[in-house]
Amino acid sequence: MESQRQKKIASVLQKDLVEVLQGAAREGGMSGVIISVTQVKVTVDLSIAKVYLSIFPIKQAKVLIDGIASNAPIIKHELAKRTKHQLRRMPELLFFLDDSLEYIDKIDQSIKQSENPIQNRDLLDKRKKI
**Burial status of residue 64 (CB atoms within 10 A of its CB: 0-12, 13-18, 19 or more):** buried
Quick one: 114 and 59 in the same domain? no
Quick one: 71 and 125 in the same domain? no
Quick one: 71 and 127 in the same domain? no
The span from the CA of 99 to the CA of 126, in Å, is 12
Does 127 score more than 70 pLDDT? no
- Cβ(57)–Cβ(33) under 8 Å? yes
Lowest mean pLDDT among 29-38, 78-87, 110-119: 110-119
Quick one: 24 and 56 in the same domain? yes
Cα 84 to Cα 19, 23, 80, 100, 125, distances in angstroms: 16, 19, 6, 32, 43
Q: What is the mean pLDDT of residues 17-45?
A: 87
Does 70 score more than 70 pLDDT? yes
- Cβ(91)–Cβ(43) under 8 Å? yes
User: What SS3 class is residue 14?
Assistant: helix
* 71 band by pLDDT with thresholds 50, 70 and 90: very high
Quick one: 87 and 108 in the same domain? no
Quick one: 120 and 89 in the same domain? no
The span from the CA of 22 to the CA of 57, in Å, is 14
Which tops the pLDDT comparison, 114 or 42?
Answer: 42
* 62 band by pLDDT with thresholds 50, 70 and 90: confident
Its domain, for residue 125, covers 100-130
Quick one: 59 and 118 in the same domain? no
Percent of the chain with pLDDT over 70: 86
Give 112's contacts (C-beta < 8 A, 6+ positions apart): none
* 60 band by pLDDT with thresholds 50, 70 and 90: confident
* 79 band by pLDDT with thresholds 50, 70 and 90: very high
Quick one: 76 and 46 in the same domain? yes
Quick one: 94 and 104 in the same domain? no
pLDDT tens, 100-125?
777 777 777 777 776 665 666 666 66
Residue 80 Cα to chain centre, angstroms: 19
Cis peptide before 57 (omega within 30 of 0): yes
* Signed CA dihedral, 92, 97, 101, 104: sign only: negative
